[in-house]
């Protein structure tokens, strides 16, 4: 699953298309106005629903269409990553990157590298199961 | 109940070559809520759009998903088609199956599967889309131009001639900027003042222009079409209505030895002064830091001699708020000054001067009446060394860019010198001669070939004084980096041009971004060179990057054209993809807990505090409110909100979580 901003990475991924570069098929892109919009609970939910890896990509520092959204995202991610690690979640499954509207090739590389590294980690069934059992627990204890 | 229509485009063979379009359409038809699903060769063509319009009417669709190219390509097209058929345009979404699917993958089963997935995600999203109305905001048809140099003057005149009111704000006592200090201009050698001062007078007399000199912008609120600009009109200690500009006070003022800013310190001025004889407005101001009355409490000589009793020692600074629809930033540049070049002895040796000082020496109205004389002893120098790229293109100095106009003015200086001192020899140390521009290269060739300027390709390492001469030590790289020493009478450094003092503060006040050199950033380096990322704020001239006069003027006219285009509308419409804090009635039932953590993260200052009070004025609750005119819809506040009280239209939590769920939920796959 890839969460990308509309102005840089979405456009960069469009450029990958226009340049006819090939990359791995098992990525699905969701468009956001800005990476600053991404609520990190969404990442947690995405893993819980069964995604094996997540790419979050926006504009390079200082290039944000909204001036500073990417900085907020970066800061939030630094905190969230530590939290995930403390909780024993495999934080390496979330790849944080910057791809500009001119970096079509970088997008293709990013997807390929991510798919490869996630493949090494294997499916994240553990988290999914855990989330499911938690959900069931909540239902029974309501 | 949702009634969604799915339209799968083949894009000729662009999509259908790798994606099995009929199967994508077939699959979509089976999704919950989808009542109509077709594929077609060219959806964006006229018959394709007709297909969508007819389906909306026939099947009473409540949402449309077009699986085709990138929404960055054709979203406006399909949204317009929906609107024509009576469906709210924001109920149309695009599934990107070309750029993000067919063009980047091989023809395999999983490519078609990906297309199916993307369509399913968007179908689930569009079910949760809301019908949105474009936001309409009125436009105040008045512009504020900040900075009264040649760019600001041009922008103000162009907007004023277009029939709109302009307020020109200048922090110095007079408009004119750096151009008014120049002697002659390249490549035509026409006199700078002769072409500029008529424009300055035009500004002062134009019925549509209000000129506030000695004033600074200290605050900006609002948004495109509706700015409120806070301006400090610094006390001039003069009643401008009474002052006739006779100049008696400046002649009688006993404090006379203040280095003149206009003359770059080569001349002096009095404490009550007009910067230069052609100043606009041609009325003096009192420099409080140097005036005897303000320092010691007595003197008031100017008050005694003033024939119209216009002196006001007790005048306070005035703070004024102005409404404006557009802002043009034209704050120009500064040049690097003393202490920056210890190796060149700049600031230590009087005869090492900068380019602007040379302009004053060469100017007919300058301190030497246009004669090139050494500042130290008034002698006419027989050998002048010009050092180009003093600071520019020098990573060691932290200025990696090219200051752009120095090559040209250095050639001009050498020429002017040669025209005035026939037996003198000008030398130029240069890195490259950058003379791109109409008649520019011819001009530098003339300096070399006709006026016999000695161009030496290399850099100067050191300048020191010996027996009244300045020894310039450099290298000639065209002779194999041979050491060169020139005994010069005077050295002129073409010092780097840098962002105007106070640019950073101004950028923060008006919320425009700036680069690492503090020059203001344009919205797009090629296609939006005069716009900033903040709608309604435009850039003119060298505040964006070093620019020469013609470039500054064209940028200013470009900015003015953008302002006039904006003012051609009585109302502005904007995409309503903005954030909002939830509201219930009665309003205090908002889930917002009033922590206001969203306020500091908002890059547009769009979040306001709204208070609910009882009739006797007791505060019940304070909640955040998002100003729809200011919000640009980045969603940073949405992600941050602790109580999940803020949502973003078009990218709501519901929509986004659904997209994730639609992709991954096994029930739907």
B668, pLDDT greater than 70: no
Q: Are residues B350 and B493 in the same domain?
A: yes
Please indicate, yes or no, whether residues B455 and B540 belong to a single structural domain of this protein: no
Domain assignment present for residue B663? The answer is no
Q: How far apart are CA B239 and CA B235, in angstroms?
A: 10
Q: Is A76 an interface residue toward B (CB < 8 Å)?
A: yes
User: Are the beta carbons of B332 and B549 closer than 8 angstroms?
Assistant: no
| Pairwise CA distance, residues B464 & B395, whole Å | 24
How far does A72 lie from chain B, in Å, by closest CA? 7
Higher pLDDT, B496 or B663: B496
Domain boundary among B540, B573, B606: B573
What pLDDT is attached to residue A35? 93
Render pLDDT for B112-164 as a digit per residue (tens, 0 to 9). Answer: 999 999 999 999 999 999 999 988 888 999 999 999 999 999 999 999 999 99
Partners of A38 on chain B (C-beta within 8 Å) are 639
Q: Mean of the pLDDT values across residues B299-327?
A: 95
Same domain, yes or no: B311 and B321: no
Residues of B in contact with A42 (CB under 8 A): 656-657, 660
Tens digits of residue pLDDT in A2-35? 999 988 899 889 989 988 999 999 899 999 999 9
Query: Do residues B288 and B299 both lie within one domain?
Result: yes
Please say whether the beta carbons of A32 and A2 come within 8 A.
no
Residue B661 belongs to a domain? no
Domain shared by B452 and B354, yes or no:
yes
- Domain A2-140 - what CATH class? alpha beta
A88–chain B nearest CA distance, Å: 23
Å from B636 to nearest chain A CA? Answer: 5
| Strands B326-329 and B537-539, sheet pairing | parallel
Q: Is the dihedral of CA A46, A47, A51, A56 positive or negative?
A: positive
Contact A34 B110 (CB under 8 A): no
Helix (H) or strand (E) holding B3: none
Does B651 sit within 8 Å of A37, measured CB to CB? yes
A17 interfacial to chain B (CB closer than 8 Å): yes
B111: chain A residues, CB-CB within 8 Å? 25
The average confidence (pLDDT) of chain B is 93
Nearest residue, CB atoms, A45 vs list B533, B604, B660:
B660
Burial of B525 (0-12, 13-18, 19+ CB in 10 A): exposed
B551 neighbors B539 (Cβ within 8 angstroms): no
3-state secondary structure string across A12-62: HHHHHHHCCCCCCCCCCEEEECCHHHCCHHHHHHHHHHCCCCEEEEECCCC
Confidence of residue B620 (pLDDT cuts 50, 70, 90): confident
Decide if B648 and A37 are in contact by the 8 Å CB cutoff: yes
Measured at the alpha carbon of residue A122, what is the angle toward residues A121 and A125, in degrees to the nearest 5?
115
B62 domain residue, yes or no: yes
**Beta-carbon neighbour count of residue B401 at 10 Å?**
16
Distance (Å) from the C-alpha of residue B645 to the closest C-alpha of chain A?
Answer: 13
> pLDDT per residue over A60-82, tens digit each?
887 787 878 899 999 988 898 89
Half-sphere exposure (Cβ direction) of B237: Cα atoms closer than 13 Å = 20
Is residue B661 exposed (0-12), middle (13-18) or buried (19+ Cβ within 10 Å)? middle
Q: What is the pLDDT of residue A106?
A: 93
**Chain B CB contacts of A29 below 8 Å:** 96, 100
Is the pLDDT at B234 greater than 90? The verdict is yes
The span from the CA of B120 to the CA of B109, in Å, is: 17
Report d(CA B518, CA B502) in Å as an integer.
9
Measured between CA atoms, the residue of chain B closest to residue A9 is B100
Q: Which of chain A's residues have a Cβ under 8 Å away from the Cβ of B659?
A: 30
Q: Within a 13 Å sphere around the CA of B552, how many CA atoms are in the beta-carbon half?
A: 26
Instruction: Provide the pLDDT confidence category of residue B612 given band limits of 50, 70 and 90.
Output: confident
Cβ distance B112 to B503 under 8 Å? no
Q: Which domain holds residue B305?
A: 237-315
DSSP type of residue B177: G
Domain map (residue ranges) of chain A: 2-140
**Pair (B200, B287) in one structural domain:** no
Exposed / middle / buried, residue B144 (Cβ in 10 Å: 0-12, 13-18, 19+): buried
Res. B667: pLDDT tops 60: no
B424 lies in the same domain as B507 = no
Best of B119, B516, B636, B644 to mutate (most A CBs within 10 Å, chain A):
B636
A142, pLDDT greater than 70: no
Q: How many residues does chain B have?
A: 669
Stated pTM of the model? 0.73
Domain membership of residue B654 (yes or no) is no
One domain for residues B429 and B473 = yes
Cβ contacts of B525 within 8 Å, gap of 6 or more: none
CA distance A131 to chain B (A): 13
Q: For tokens 């509201």, what's the residue?
A: B583
**Token code pair at residue B88:** 């709210």
Which is nearest to B519 in space by CA: B541, B537, B534? B541
Decide if A36 and B639 are in contact by the 8 Å CB cutoff: yes
- Residues in chain A with CB shorter than 8 Å from the CB of B507 are none
Are B154 and B280 part of one and the same domain? Answer: no
When the pLDDT of each residue in chain A is averaged and rounded to a whole number, the result is 89
Q: Does the structure show a pLDDT above 80 at B587?
A: no
Q: How many domains does chain B have?
A: 5
| Backbone torsions φ then ψ of B482, nearest 5 degrees | -70, 145
Q: Residue B579's closest chain A neighbor by CA?
A: A37
Is the separation of the CB atoms in B189 and B362 below 8 Å? no
A28 and B121 within 8 Å at the Cβ level: the answer is: yes
Whether A67 has its CB under 8 Å from any CB of chain B: the answer is yes
Given a cut of 80, whether residue B666 has pLDDT beyond it is: no
Q: A22 to chain B: nearest residue by CA?
A: B104
Distance to chain B for A44, nearest Cα, Å: 11
**Mean pLDDT calculated for residue range B400-421:** 96
Peptide bond into B586 cis (omega under 30): yes
Q: Contacts of residue A10 in chain B, CB cutoff 8 Å?
A: 70, 72
Q: Which residues of A touch B103 (CB under 8 A)?
A: 16-18, 20
Q: What is the CATH number of the domain that holds B147?
A: 3.50.50.60
The answer to whether the Cβ–Cβ distance between A23 and B118 falls below 8 Å is: no
Rounded average pLDDT over B301-322: 94
Q: Indicate the residue of A11, A23, A28 with minimum beta-carbon distance to B663.
A: A28
**CB within 8 Å: A68 and B640:** no
- B177 Cβ neighbours under 8 A, 6+ residues apart: B147, B148, B149, B150, B151, B152, B153, B332
Overall residue count recorded for chain A in this entry: 142
Residue ending a domain, choose from B451, B477, B498: B498
**Which among A18, A33, A124 is the top mutation candidate for probing chain B, defined by the most B β-carbons within 10 Å of its own β-carbon?**
A33
Characterize B80-115 residue by residue with b for buried, 16 or more Cβ atoms within 10 angstroms of its Cβ, and e for exposed.
ebbeebebbbbbbbbbbbbbbbbbbbeeeeebbbbb
Q: Is B532 helix (H, G, I), strand (E, B) or coil?
A: coil
Same domain as B75, residue B97: yes
| A22, A32, A108: residue with CB nearest B651 | A32
Hey, of B95, B574, B645, B660, which one would you mutate to test binding to chain A, going by the most A CBs within 10 A of its CB? B660
Q: Does A74 touch chain B (CB under 8 A)?
A: no
The answer to whether the Cβ–Cβ distance between B635 and A69 falls below 8 Å is yes
Instruction: Decide if pLDDT at B302 tops 60.
Output: yes
| pLDDT value at residue B148 | 96
Do B226 and B252 lie in one domain? The reply is: no
Whether B363 and B489 share a structural domain: yes
Tell me whether residue B667 is in a domain: no
- Whether A39 sits inside 8 A of B639 (CB atoms) is yes
Say if CB B568 and CB B547 are below 8 A apart: no
DSSP string, A44-110: HHHHHHT-S-EEEEEPPTT--TTSSHHHHHHHHHHHHHHHHHHHT--GGGEEEEE--TT-HHHHHHH
Yes or no, beta carbons of B99 and A65 under 8 Å apart: no
Query: Which of B528, B638, B639, B653 should be substituted to probe chain A, the one whose Cβ sees the most A Cβ atoms within 10 Å?
Result: B639
A30 in B contact zone (CB under 8 Å): yes
pLDDT at position B483: 94
Q: What residues in A contact B99, CB-CB < 8 Å?
A: 13-14, 16-18
CA distance B565 to B552: 20
| Any B CB within 8 A of A50 CB | yes
Contacts of B514 (CB under 8 A, 6+ apart): B499, B503, B504, B507, B520, B521
**From the CA of B651, how many Å to the nearest CA of chain A?**
7
Yes or no: say if B156 and B326 are a contact pair by the CB < 8 Å rule. Answer: no
User: Does B659 sit within 8 Å of A33, measured CB to CB?
Assistant: no
Residue B304 lies in a domain: yes
- Name the residue among B100, B511, B635 with its Cβ closest to that of A37: B635
Domain boundary among B551, B573, B595: B573
- Give the lowest-confidence range in B532-536, B548-552, B586-590: B586-590
Q: Which of B169, B219, B166 shows the shortest CA–CA distance to B325?
A: B166
Nearest of B484, B435, B437 to residue B457 by alpha carbon: B484
| Among candidates A32, A40, A51 on the partner chain, residue whose Cβ is nearest the Cβ of B664 | A51
């Amino acid at each position: 699953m890839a969460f990308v901003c509309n102005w840089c990475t979405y456009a960069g991924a469009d450029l990958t298309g226009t340049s006819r570069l090939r990359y791995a098929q098992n990525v699905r892109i969701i468009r956001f106005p800005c990476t600053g919009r991404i609520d990190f609970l969404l990442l947690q939910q995405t893993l819980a629903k069964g995604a094996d890896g997540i790419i979050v990509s926006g504009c390079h520092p200082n290039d944000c269409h909204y001036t500073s959204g990417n900085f907020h995202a970066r800061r939030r991610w630094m905190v969230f990553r530590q939290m995930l690690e403390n909780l024993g979640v495999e934080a390496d499954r979330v790849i944080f990157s910057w791809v500009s509207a001119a970096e079509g090739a970088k997008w293709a590389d990013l997807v390929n590298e991510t798919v490869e590294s996630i493949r090494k980690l294997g499916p994240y069934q553990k988290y999914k199961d855990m989330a499911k059992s938690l959900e069931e627990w909540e239902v029974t204890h309501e | 109940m949702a009634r969604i229509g799915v339209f799968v485009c083949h894009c000729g063979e662009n999509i259908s070559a790798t994606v099995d379009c009929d199967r994508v359409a077939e699959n979509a038809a089976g999704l919950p809520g989808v009542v109509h699903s077709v594929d077609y060769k060219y959806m964006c063509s006229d018959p394709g759009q007709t297909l969508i319009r007819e389906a909306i009417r026939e099947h009473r669709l409540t949402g449309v998903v077009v699986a085709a190219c990138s929404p960055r390509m054709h979203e406006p097209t399909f949204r317009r088609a929906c609107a024509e058929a009576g469906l709210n345009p924001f109920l149309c979404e695009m599934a990107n199956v070309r750029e993000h699917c067919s063009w980047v993958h091989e023809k395999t089963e999983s490519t078609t599967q990906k297309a199916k997935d993307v369509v399913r995600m968007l179908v689930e999203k569009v079910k949760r889309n809301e019908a949105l109305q474009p936001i309409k905001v009125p436009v105040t048809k008045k512009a504020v131009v900040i900075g009264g140099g040649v760019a600001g003057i041009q922008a103000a005149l162009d907007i004023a001639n277009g029939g709109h009111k302009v307020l020109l704000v200048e922090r110095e006592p007079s408009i004119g900027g750096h151009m008014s200090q120049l002697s002659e201009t390249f490549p035509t050698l026409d006199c700078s003042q002769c072409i500029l001062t008529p424009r300055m007078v035009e500004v002062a007399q134009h019925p549509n222009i209000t000129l506030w000199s000695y004033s600074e912008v200290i605050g900006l609120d609002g948004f495109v079409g509706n700015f409120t600009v806070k301006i400090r009109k610094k006390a001039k200690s003069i009643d401008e209505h009474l002052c006739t500009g006779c100049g008696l006070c400046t002649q009688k003022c006993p404090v006379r030895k203040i280095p003149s800013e206009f003359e770059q310190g080569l001349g002096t001025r009095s404490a009550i002064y007009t910067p230069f004889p052609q100043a606009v407005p041609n009325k003096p101001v009192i420099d409080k830091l140097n005036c005897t009355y303000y320092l010691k409490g007595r003197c008031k000589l100017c008050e005694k001699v003033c024939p119209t009793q216009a002196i006001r020692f007790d005048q306070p600074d005035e703070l004024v708020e102005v409404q404006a629809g557009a802002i043009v930033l034209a704050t120009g540049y500064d040049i690097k000054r003393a202490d920056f070049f210890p190796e060149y002895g700049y600031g230590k040796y009087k005869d090492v001067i900068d380019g602007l000082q040379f302009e004053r020496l060469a100017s007919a109205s300058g301190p030497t009446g246009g004669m090139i004389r050494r500042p130290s002893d008034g002698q006419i120098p027989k050998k002048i060394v010009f050092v180009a790229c003093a600071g520019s293109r020098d990573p060691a100095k932290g200025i990696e860019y090219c200051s752009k106009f120095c090559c040209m003015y250095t050639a001009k200086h050498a020429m002017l010198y040669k025209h005035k001192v026939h037996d003198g020899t000008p030398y130029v140390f240069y890195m490259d001669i950058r003379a791109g521009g109409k008649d520019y290269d011819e001009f530098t060739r003339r300096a070399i070939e006709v006026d016999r300027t000695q161009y030496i390709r290399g850099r100067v390492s050191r300048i020191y004084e010996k027996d009244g001469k300045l020894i310039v030590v450099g290298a000639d790289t065209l002779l194999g980096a041979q050491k060169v020493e020139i005994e010069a009478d005077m050295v002129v450094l073409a010092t780097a041009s840098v962002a105007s003092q106070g640019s950073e503060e101004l950028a923060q006040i008006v919320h425009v971004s700036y680069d690492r050199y503090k020059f203001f950033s344009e919205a797009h380096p090629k296609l939006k060179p005069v716009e900033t990322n903040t709608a309604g704020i435009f850039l003119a001239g060298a505040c964006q990057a070093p620019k020469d006069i013609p470039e500054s003027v064209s940028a200013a006219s470009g900015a003015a054209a953008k302002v006039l285009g904006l003012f051609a509308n009585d109302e502005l419409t904007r995409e309503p993809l903005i954030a909002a804090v939830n509201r219930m009635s009665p309003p205090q039932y908002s889930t917002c807990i009033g922590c206001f953590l969203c306020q500091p993260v908002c890059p547009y200052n769009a979040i306001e505090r709204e208070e609910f009070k009882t009739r006797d004025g007791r505060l019940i609750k304070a909640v955040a409110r998002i100003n729809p005119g200011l919000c640009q819809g980045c969603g940073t506040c949405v992600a941050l909100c602790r109580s999940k009280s803020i949502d973003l239209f078009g990218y709501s939590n519901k929509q986004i979580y659904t997209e994730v769920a639609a992709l991954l939920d096994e029930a739907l796959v």
